[in-house]
Structure 1
Amino acid sequence: MASGVGVNDDCQAKFLEMKLGHKYRYVIYRLSADNKEIVVDKTGSMDSTYDDFIGDLSEHECRWAVYDFDHKLDEDSRIRKLIFISWCPDGARIKSKMIFTSSTDTLRRTLNGIGLQIAATEWSEIFFEAVLDKAQRGSRY
């Protein structure tokens, strides 16, 4: 279901700065106040941690994010993927959830090069260990 919501040009620009220029560890997106377009909400510098990222999400507001996941497994291997996260917590308002859910594909289609997609409604689904497990399996969730 398409929502008719547009994607602000800055969304893709920040994504490309992250993907190609390695300027950001993460970019968080949200709906504009009038629910007509998707805009950049926050960015995290390359020095930001996964805990910083989680701290920038709310248990009452839906957000999309792309996280540059880079984790060393052992001496010889590491996981590096751009992870698209749809964060739609149970505590968000129903109307917001409906618009958010119907707009996810609109944003996702503008961001080329995503290695993993995760839809989450609870913190446990995006805790570091859960995301690491999904990234290691390489599956879509």
Structure 2
Amino acid sequence: MSRSGVAVADESLTAFNDLKLGKKHKFIIYTLNDSKTEIVVEETSSETDYDVFLEKLPENECKYAIYDFEYEIGGGEGKRSKIVFFTWSPDTAPIRAKMVYASSKDALRRALNGVAADVQGTDFSEVAYESVLDRVTRTSH
């Protein structure tokens, strides 16, 4: 339970474990249910194109997301993968929604074990591939 009284739905944890352990998903978009009492899965996808993920982030609505972020290591070390937690809270979203998402984030974040990096996005420049790449490579050194 979060400070806002919002709970994390079991399906939210199941989807995360499917991504982390089963590699069934590339990303998960989370939202609050209609009564704003539970964090639920809005969508899962196995689409590997990062731009497709970004297109799922609405311009005027808050969301949470998990992305299995793959990137190349320099010097021929190959690919690495980090699980990234996104809090998407665009400047154009309603203030009330931003407040509820901000106060509910910790409940979801604590429930998801194995997240390597957190990204807070208020506009698309903050969640662009290069910005996230910079964040995950800094946390891995």
| TM value normalised by structure 2 | 0.93
| Residue in structure 1 matched with residue 45 of structure 2 by the alignment | 44
Paired residue type of 2:130:
E
Q: Give yes or no for the alignment of 1:117 onto 2:118.
A: yes
Equivalent residue, structure 1, for 2:84: 83
Superposed displacement of residue 3, structure 1: 0.3
Q: Whole-Å Cα distance in 2 between the matches of residues 119 and 56 of structure 1?
A: 16
One-letter amino acid matched to 2:90: P
Question: How many corresponding residue pairs?
Answer: 138
Q: Deviations over 1:54-111 (max 9, x none)?
A: 0111010100011001112342243310000100001111111111100000110110
Secondary structure of the equivalent of 1:43?
strand
2:66 paired with 1:63 = no
- Does 77-86 or 5-14 show the bigger shift? 77-86
Match of 2:22 in 1: 21
**SS across alignment from 1:69:** strand
In 1: Cα distance, 2:65 partner to 2:14 partner: 14
3-state DSSP of counterpart to 2:26: strand
Measure, in 1, the Cα distance between the counterparts of 2:134 and 2:49. 18
Instruction: Flag structure 2 segments of 5+ consecutive residues without an equivalent.
Output: none
TM-superposed deviation, 1:118? 1.1
Instruction: Tell me the equivalent position of 2:73.
Output: 73
When normalised by structure 1's length, the TM-score is: 0.93
When the two chains are superposed, the root-mean-square deviation of aligned CA atoms in Å is 1.3
Mark the runs of 5 or more structure 1 residues left unpaired by the alignment: none
Partners of 1:57 and 1:119 lie apart in 2 by: 13
Distance 1:105 1:40 in 2: 16
